[in-house]
Amino acid sequence: MPRDMLTGSRIRERRAIKGLRQADLARQVGISPSYLNLIEHNRRRIGGKLLVDLAEVLGVEPSMLTEGAEAALISALREAAAEAGVAMAETDRAEEFAGRFPGWAEVLVWSHRRITSLERTVETLSDRLTHDPRLAASLHEVLSTAAAIRSTASILAETGELEPEWRDRFHRNLNEDSARLADSSKALVNYLDDTEASADHRGAPQEEVEAFMAAHGHHFPLLEEGTGDLDAIIASAPELTGRAARQVARKILRQYAADVVAMPLAVFTEAVKAQGLDPLALAQAFAVDLPAVFRRIATLPEGALPGEVGLVICDASGSILFRKAITGFALPRHGEACPLWPLFSALNRPLVPIRRRVSQLGRAVAEFDCLAIAWPDGPPGFERDPLYRSIMLILPVRHGEGDGATPQPVGGTCRVCPRGDCDARREPSILSEGF
Amino acid sequence: MGRHVLLIEDESNIAEAIRFLLTRDGWQVDTHADGRDAVEVVCAAKPDLVILDMMLPGKSGMDILRELRAIDGLHDLPVLMLTARGQSRDRDMAEKAGVSRFMTKPFSNIEVLSAVRDLLAQASRT
C-alpha cells in the first residue's frame, strides 16, 4: 500500500479488496454509510476505537491504515508551501491545517502535484516543439549512423586480434551503416537545400504563404475591387522570399480573383446577412460549387461574420495545401494531421457534403462545426483518373449554441494529441501525462 | 566496484559496438532497446551503471532519467547519457534531471570507455 495514501483512501482500498459494500462495513462498525463515505473520501479524520474496529473488520493492523499517511500529507503541504514562497509561520501550521481540513489539504496537495506534472509537460513540449520534428529526426538519423560507423570502424582498426566471427559481423554492420548514412545524408540535404531555388532556405513554401496570407488577414481589398495586380502584390510581400512560395501564392491569389468575380464582396456579404451562413444556399444563389463558397467565406473581411472561420484544403494524399488557422483548432505545422477530421472523411465520398460537430482537446475542450467536401480538381479526361482535393470550413460553436449531441472527438496531430484510446493513432503522443 | 553495465540503446549496431568494447574491457554488459519499460528493466537488473540513449522508442531518455532519479536507491546510480542533440539547452536539461555524464554522438570508443571507467571509479569512492 503506498505510503503517501491517506487513511480514508486506504480504508476504501481495503474494503474493495475484501469485496465489502460500504453499507456492510458501516453497519459492522456501528456508523452510518454516509459517515463512512466521508471518512473514505478523507473528509473526516478518525482514530481510537473506530479505527481499531474498522481495521479488525478489514483484517489489517490499525497501523496499516494510518502509518505514514498524515506525515506524507504534511510533507507534501510543506513542499507546496515552500515552492509557493509561503511565510515560515504558516508553513509551521501545516500539521494543524491537515488536521482540521484534511479534505482541503488533499485538494491543495493534489493541485500542487498537478501543477508540477503540467510544468513538466510544458517543459517537454517546448523542448521538442521548438525544433522542426522532421529536421530533428533527420539529423538524429545521420548522427546515430555516424556514431555506429565510428565505433565499429575504430574497433576494426584498433583491435589487434579480432575473432573472425566478430570481424565479419562488424564488416557487415559497417556496410549496412554506410549505406544508411548515404541515404539519410541525401534525404537531409534534399530537405535543407532546394538546388533550383537557393533563396527558399528561409522556410517551407507553405509556411511563407501562410505568413503572407495571415499578414493580409486573408483579405485583399485591391483584388476585391478588381484593380489588383497579382505580380505587384506578390513582389511587395516580404514574407514570400522563395520562388516556390511565390508560385504557390500566385495560384492562390488567382483563385481568389476568380472567386471575387463569381461572388462580388458587396453582393455576397448581403446574401450572407439575408440567408445566414448557409453554404448550400449561397452556392445555389451564386451558381458556384461548395468549395468556392467555403473559400469565399474564408476571405471575407473582419467584421463581416460574427466570428472567425478556419479553412483547410488537402490533396488526395492527405497533404495540407492551404490552411487558415482558427483559435482553438490545432492545425499541425509539421507532420500529418488527425485522420478523424471530416476533411479526410470527405475524400472517401467525393462530392458528398459532410457536416460534423467535432471537439478538440487542448488546454480546454473547444467545439467546432466542420463542413467538408471533396471534389475532382482540374478538367476531366477519359484517359486519366481525376485528382481529388478536399476542403473543410471550420466554424466555432459558441457556448450554448450546440444541439446537445456529443461532438466527435478529433485531434491535431498524434504527436501532441493527449487522447489515450484512439484507433486512428499512428504514433505515441509525446504528452505522456496529457493535459 | 561492480562491473555490470546496462546499455539502453535502440540503434542495434551502436549497441553491439559498445557491448563489444566494454565486454573486452571486462564489464558485464546487458542491452535493452525500448524506452517504454526501461525503468522497470533498470530496477530489475540493478546495474552499476546505465548508458542511456536520449531518443528511444516509447519514452525519451530524459523521461526515463527523471523517473529513475525519483526512485529510492537510484539517486546516485551513474547514468551516462548518449545523444545526437548536443545543444547546451539539452545538456542543461539532462543535468537538471540528474545525469552523471552527457556525451554527444558521434563519440569515440575511448571516450565511452573513459567515461564508464571514471563514473564507476567515482561511484566506488562515494
Enumerate the residues of chain A whose CB falls inside 8 A of the CB of residue B105: 143-144, 146-147
Preceding amide of A428 cis, omega within 30: no
Interval B38-48 mean pLDDT: 94
Are residues B107 and A150, on separate chains, in Cβ contact within 8 Å? yes
Listed in sequence order, the residues at least 6 apart from A95 whose beta carbon sits closer than 8 Å to its beta carbon are A74
Residue B17 is nearest to which of A145, A146, A155, comparing CB atoms?
A155
Are residues A140 and B85, on separate chains, in Cβ contact within 8 Å? yes
| 8-state DSSP, A203 | S
Using the Cβ of B20 and the Cβ atoms of chain A, whether some distance falls under 8 Å is answered with yes
Q: What confidence tier does B65 reach under pLDDT thresholds 50, 70, 90?
A: very high
B31 is written with which cell numbers? 542491452
Question: Which residue out of A126, A139, A151 would a mutagenesis test of the B interface target, given it has the greatest number of B Cβ atoms within 10 Å?
Answer: A151
Is the ipTM higher than 0.90? The answer is no
Q: What is the pLDDT of residue A355?
A: 95
Listed in sequence order, the residues at least 6 apart from A10 whose beta carbon sits closer than 8 Å to its beta carbon are A1, A64, A65, A66, A69
Nearest by Cα to B7 from B55, B42, B43, B37 = B42
Residues A176/B13, Cβ–Cβ less than 8 Å? yes
Are residues A143 and B62, on separate chains, in Cβ contact within 8 Å? no
Are residues B63 and A432, on separate chains, in Cβ contact within 8 Å? yes
**Tens digit of each residue's pLDDT (9 = 90 or more) over B2-34:** 689 999 999 899 999 999 999 999 999 999 999
Q: What is the pLDDT of residue A358?
A: 92
The span from the CA of A161 to the CA of A313, in Å, is 62
Question: Which residue out of B13, B21, B110 would a mutagenesis test of the A interface target, given it has the greatest number of A Cβ atoms within 10 Å?
Answer: B13
Q: Min CA distance, B58 vs chain A (Å)? A: 7
Enumerate the residues of chain A whose CB falls inside 8 A of the CB of residue B60: 124, 430
Question: Which residue out of B9, B10, B12, B14 would a mutagenesis test of the A interface target, given it has the greatest number of A Cβ atoms within 10 Å?
Answer: B14
Residue B11 is nearest to which of A136, A148, A428, comparing CB atoms?
A148
If phi > 0 it is left, if psi is from -120 to 50 it is alpha, else beta; for residue B14 that is alpha
The span from the CA of A52 to the CA of B124, in Å, is 48
> If you measure CA to CA, which chain B residue comes closest to A173?
B13
Using the Cβ of B84 and the Cβ atoms of chain A, whether some distance falls under 8 Å is answered with yes
pLDDT in tens, chain A (435 residues): 444 467 888 888 889 888 888 899 999 999 988 889 888 887 777 778 888 899 889 988 887 787 666 777 777 787 787 777 666 657 777 777 777 777 788 788 888 777 877 776 666 665 555 556 666 677 778 888 888 998 899 888 888 788 888 889 999 999 889 888 887 877 776 666 533 344 344 457 888 888 899 889 999 999 998 887 888 899 888 888 778 889 999 999 999 999 999 999 999 999 998 888 899 999 999 999 999 999 999 999 988 888 889 999 999 988 888 989 888 888 876 557 899 999 999 999 999 999 999 988 654 567 899 999 999 988 888 888 889 999 999 998 876 666 667 888 898 888 777 777 888 888 777 654 443
Q: Min CA distance, A74 vs chain B (Å)? A: 19
> If you measure CA to CA, which chain B residue comes closest to A154?
B109
Helices (H), ranges, A130-241: 133-158, 164-192, 205-215, 221-224, 230-235
Q: What is the pLDDT of residue A392?
A: 97
**Tens digit of each residue's pLDDT (9 = 90 or more) over B81-124:** 998 866 667 788 889 999 999 998 888 888 999 999 999 888 87
